[in-house]
Copies of this chain bind each other. A is one copy, B any other.
Amino acid sequence: MSSLYGNSIKISIFGQSHSDSIGVVIDGIPAGEPFDAEKLKAFTARRAPSNNSLGTPRKEADEFEVLSGVANGKFCGAPFAAVIKNTNVKPGDYSEFSERPRPGHADYTANVKYHGANDFSGGGHFSGRLTAPLCIAGGICLQLLENRGIYIGAHHERIGSVTDLRFDPVNVSKADFDALVRGRVTVIDESKLSKMEALVEECRSEKDSVGGVIECAVIGLPAGLGDPIFDGMENRIAQIVFGIPGVKGIEFGNGFDCAKIRGSENNDSFAYKDGKVVTETNNHGGILGGITSGMPLVFRAALKPTPSIFKEQNTVDLTEKEDCTLVIKGRHDPCIAVRALPCMEAAAAIAVYDALLDHNKTNI
């Protein structure tokens, strides 16, 4: 049902880019868990556009207000709700897109779906801005997971033609997350930071944009989370990750590369290590049969280039029913993969925490 996700916790996201507010309701957080508002602010600030030039010049404070669900610094069992006011709205920027849909955007498809009644302003409910409430929900789940020793980290495995190293899928640790080099992009290999940043700037100056791949790892997970067939960890994570605008692909473990090799290369041998069952390699990305194996859960998601580019593009005029051209004005990130990084962590956190609660109910 469109903007809801989850089994044990239910996330309901609302808002349009230029409506009064955007926000999220989270139903099902166990009562008594502590809520760290400052830590959540710090997390959501990572998604907010920075004052540097890689992010959009549009100023979004993204400061959330908690409406309900917390009492005495703890989640109180009632649904948690938080909103972010849309204070810096310029609806005038978007008026023409209702009749001249932007290539690569939802303008046309939403227009057909909603018979023209959708809110075109700022992309409406399809705006990347809706990832802000996703980050509120995800930031909360991250806190709750960290209380159980489960950590999530992500980096830019690729921006356009520039690639980073990958996480070591067997040994990736919290120390590796702490050692990530964070500039405008986030990388393992420090030498790639400036290359990626330069590429993004080049695209901006050319009125163009560029795509990227984000790699995300979850560590500290117990074995046994996830359910068979339609509710495995891959299904759950994929369902929420495709909720981040611009994601066009996802792969787990060695992903598409597993199709190229033999079973004898792809299978990960089991072994005992310090009394615990591990696998010696981790092509399976921490998931077998949809269920966590206890090894790091690793996935990568591909994000397309920002569809809002400032070059002239061909489109149609839906009123005149004829082809036309369009030049987009305004303010847009030249690379949505940049700010999508914390969103990816947020999405993974929600999926994992929900699976953790789901698993609980059968432990009777």
Contact = CB atoms under 8 A, between A and B. Distances in A.
A62 interface: no
B23 A67 contact: yes
Given A31-B113, A108-B288, A227-B1, A314 B269 contact: yes
B78 A118 contact: yes
Nearest to A207: B264
A227 B248 CA distance: 16
Nearest to A66: B20
A128 to B, nearest CB: 11
Interface in A70-85: 70-72, 74-81, 83
A164 interface: no
B15 A27 contact: no
A363 B229 contact: no
Given A3-B228, A262-B160, A68 B20 contact: yes
A53 interface: no
Contact of A71 (B121, B254, B264, B271): B121
Interface stretch (A36-44, A99-107, A181-189): A99-107
A216 interface: no
A255 to B, nearest CB: 4
Contacts of A194: none
Contact of A263 (B32, B238, B290, B307): B307
A229 to B, nearest CB: 5
A219 interface: no
A330 to B, nearest CB: 14
Contacts of A238: 235, 238-239, 242, 250
A349 interface: no
Contact of A68 (B16, B106, B311): B16
A170 to B, nearest CB: 14
Contacts of A209: 262-264
Nearest to A162: B260
Given A15-B81, A19-B70, A108-B223, 16 more contacts: A3-B27, A12-B25, A13-B230, A19-B68, A32-B115, A77-B117, A126-B289, A229-B243, A232-B242, A232-B243, A236-B239, A248-B284, A271-B323, A272-B321, A356-B364, A357-B364
9 contacts: A12-B25, A160-B260, A242-B290, A245-B289, A248-B258, A258-B303, A258-B305, A271-B314, A358-B361
